[in-house]
Amino acid sequence: MISKEEVKHIAKLARIKLNNQEVLKFQKELSLILDYIEQLREVDISKIDLKKGLGKAQSVTREDKEIKKSLKQASKLMELVPDKKDNYLKTKQIL
Amino acid sequence: MDLTNLTIKQVHQGLLKKKFSVLELTKLYLEKIKKEDKHINAFLDICENKSLEQAKETDKMIALKKEIPLLAGVLFGVKDNILVEGVQATAGSRILKNYIAPYDATCIKRLKKQGAIVLGKTNLDEFAMGSSTENSAFGPTKNPKDLTRVPGGSSGGSAAAVASNFCHFALGSDTGGSIRQPASFCGVVGLSPTYGTVSRYGLIALASSLDQIGPITKTVEDCKTIFDIIRGEDDLDSTSASAKQLIDSDIKTVKDLVIGIPKEYFIKGIDAGVLKLIKEAIKKYEKLGAKTKEISLNLTKYALACYYIINPSEASANLARYDGIKYGHSADTKDSDSLLEVYLKSRQQGFGDEVKRRVMIGTFALSSGYYEAYYLRAQKVKELIKKDFEKAFKEVDVIFTPVTPTPAFKIGERATDPLEMYLSDIFTVSGKLAGIPAISVPCGEVNGLPVGLQIIGKSFEDDKIIKVAEFLEK
């Protein structure tokens, strides 16, 4: 069973706020899931070289060049921004 | 002629013979949805104006050009995690409640080009995480065969819409079983194609190394028609496979066929009625001259654990984009000047419980000190599972299994125990981890509840499993 502190730490890394009740609920549920996936330790993986396997699937790449998008496309994206000022998206102060 | 029960082929023939106009057909289906979907909740959004407009244009074009595109007048539902320009795409989540898609997914573009018309967006488990559609932020979908039961998930709205004759076909997405399992529960056909054959551009990402869009249809023939249109290379998807890799089926008759029956899929715990129907389906093929062979897929036992590391890990990375800044729900944080508070609260309010669970499990599995023990190990087991299948396919052409251990379960029955829900995917995740294609095709009913046979094929032999499924339908 993972501790309450661990749940709080994971939630913070995951950027999800939890209240005390949720911490208790997820402590129980996450522990059950983690116990279940533990069984993967039984599998012998010593002979697997991932580099060989992954070599088969090839990524499609393109030239590292700017793709021109229309203003209309850009304004559609800006319409989705929750908070903006002068056509810039606005956030709280970072530094 | 019952116009509300047409296959894609029948729509095309009906238009050729001028039995109805596209506008008449569209109005009829919209009315049917309005009248009946309140009991099912298959659709989250109906594109009434857009579809009527497109119907009128199609009728005009047919009158003018005298030729009818393959999918003219074909009406379809789109899982609400696939983007249709100018239409909502919520992914079943509060965090995207007001999100309007700024562009078309590649598969939508291809279908529209053939004249198909989007009727609406269908319900799903939030971000496609679930096996019952109960995890939708907008209420569960009911199984049209029995309103007290789930339609399966996560593409439950799509499967229920096709089974209810609300549309001619629907699109779903399959990450661990999300097309095949609801297709099985609702008694329709569902294809999870080989990874890389259908572009993922415009699909809201869950687990990028597993996600694949596919058709949910009334017949195997329709499934092939839609698959042939949506498949193919796409520069906008970095894991898109070359179209040349797809292999045409070399199966002419059932006599050419060697069917593998993996003993690990016929274990205790399978519903007796399901088992009986699967065995009967296998016998039908044997009667037609197919050979069957018992095979062993040793790692089946570990597939689900492997899947529930890879899926949450990739999900946690993919869902990091929902931050309350760029789009989607943003929490009211007027009394705070902390940016972190915007992230924490927006995601607390926007995500449902299953999404929170998976994002946290994934964050844990990828965090410093745990990566090798979880994600890297799971990737290696995935490679072993792939090898398991490769070995099996040296002896057999296709593999037959049940899609799920039971028919559709009751609404609420598995909602309180996440692990119990995960077990619904036990027969569908293995093939998915191997990246290989699988189709669910109806093979009978247990007490009025549909059961699907799963036909699994080799990588890029999607055509072959479709062909093999056709024999059962005949």
Task: Provide, as residue numbers in chain A, all residues whose Cβ is less than 8 Å from the Cβ of B383.
Answer: 48, 50, 53
| For range A43-53, the mean pLDDT | 84
Exposure string of A18-46, with b = 16+ CB inside 10 Å and e = fewer, is beeebeebbbebbeebbebbeebeebebe
Minimal Cβ distance to A83: which of B330, B361, B377: B330
Task: Provide, as residue numbers in chain A, all residues whose Cβ is less than 8 Å from the Cβ of B330.
Answer: 82-83
Determine contact, residues B174/B214, Cβ cutoff 8 Å.
Answer: yes
Predicted confidence band at B30 (pLDDT cuts at 50, 70, 90)? Answer: very high
| For range B86-105, the mean pLDDT | 97
Query: pLDDT of B183-228, one tens digit each?
Result: 999 999 999 999 999 999 999 999 999 999 999 999 999 999 999 9
Q: Is the pLDDT of residue A55 over 50?
A: no
What ipTM, to 2 d.p.?
0.93
Q: How many other CB atoms sit within 10 Å of the CB of residue B85?
A: 18
Q: How many other CB atoms sit within 10 Å of the CB of residue A50?
A: 13
How far is the C-alpha of B222 from the C-alpha of A4, rounded, in Å? 52
How far is the C-alpha of B258 from the C-alpha of B371, rounded, in Å? 41
Strands of the B449-456 sheet, one edge to the other? B43-46, B117-122, B75-79, B169-174, B212-217, B189-192, B438-446, B449-456, B398-402, B258-262, B291-295
pLDDT given for residue A57 in this prediction: 58
Q: What angle do CA B431, B437, B442 make, to 5 degrees?
A: 95
Q: Which residue has the tokens 């522990």?
A: A31
How far is the C-alpha of B125 from the C-alpha of B357, rounded, in Å? 14
Residue of chain A nearest B199, judged by CA positions: A60
Q: Do B419 and A32 touch (CB under 8 A)?
A: yes
Reduced 3-state DSSP string for chain B: CCHHHCCHHHHHHHHHCCCCCHHHHHHHHHHHHHHHHHHHCCEEEECHHHHHHHHHHHHHHHHHHCCCCCCCCCEEEEECCECCCCCECCCCCHHHCCCECCCCCHHHHHHHHCCCEEEEEECCCHHHCCCCCCCCCCCCCCECCECCECCCCCCHHHHHHHHCCCCCEEEEEECCCCCHHHHHHHCCEEEECCCCCECCCCECCCCCCCCEEEEEECCHHHHHHHHHHHECCCCCCCCCCCHHHCCCCCCCCHHHCEEEEEHHHCCCCCCHHHHHHHHHHHHHHHHCCCEEEEECCCCHHHHHHHHHHHHHHHHHHHHHHCCCCCCCCCCCCCCCCCHHHHHHHHHHHHCCHHHHHHHHHHHHHHCCCCCHHHHHHHHHHHHHHHHHHHHHCCCCCEEEEECCCCCCCECCCCCCCHHHHHHHHCCCHHHHHCCCCEEEEEEEEECCEEEEEEEECCCCCHHHHHHHHHHHHC
How distant is the Cα of A84 from the closest Cα of chain B, in angstroms?
A: 9
Q: What is the mean pLDDT of chain B?
A: 96
Give the percent of chain B with pLDDT over 70.
Answer: 100
Chain A contacts in chain B segment 432-471 (CB below 8 A): none
Q: Mutation test of the interface with chain A: which of B323, B344, B374, choosing the one with the most A Cβ atoms within 10 A?
A: B344
Q: Is the pLDDT of residue A62 over 70?
A: yes
How far is the C-alpha of B292 from the C-alpha of B294, rounded, in Å? 7
Q: Is residue A88 less than 8 Å (CB to CB) from chain B?
A: no
Q: How many other CB atoms sit within 10 Å of the CB of residue B61?
A: 16
Q: Which phi and psi angles does B107 have, rounded to 5°?
A: -65, -35
Predicted confidence band at B245 (pLDDT cuts at 50, 70, 90)? Answer: confident
Q: Mutation test of the interface with chain A: which of B356, B375, B423, choosing the one with the most A Cβ atoms within 10 A?
A: B356
Q: Is residue A93 less than 8 Å (CB to CB) from chain B?
A: yes
Q: Is the pLDDT of residue B112 over 90?
A: yes
Predicted confidence band at B63 (pLDDT cuts at 50, 70, 90)? Answer: very high
Q: Which of A9-18, A85-94, B21-30, B151-160 has the lowest mean pLDDT?
A: A85-94
Closest to B429 in 3D by CA, of B291, B305, B268, B272: B305
pLDDT given for residue B262 in this prediction: 97
| For range B101-120, the mean pLDDT | 97
Q: Do B100 and A81 touch (CB under 8 A)?
A: no
Q: Which of B153-162, B313-322, B364-373 has the lowest mean pLDDT?
A: B364-373
Q: Please, what's the largest Cα pairwise distance for chain A? A: 58
Q: Do A62 and B235 touch (CB under 8 A)?
A: yes
Q: What pTM did the predictor assign?
A: 0.97
Q: Do A15 and B347 touch (CB under 8 A)?
A: yes
Predicted confidence band at A29 (pLDDT cuts at 50, 70, 90)? Answer: very high
Q: Which of B72-76, B247-251, B376-380 has the lowest mean pLDDT?
A: B247-251
Query: pLDDT of B257-276, one tens digit each?
Result: 999 999 999 988 899 999 99
Q: Is residue A67 less than 8 Å (CB to CB) from chain B?
A: no
Q: Do B305 and A57 touch (CB under 8 A)?
A: no
Predicted confidence band at B249 (pLDDT cuts at 50, 70, 90)? Answer: confident
Active site residues of B: 79, 154, 178
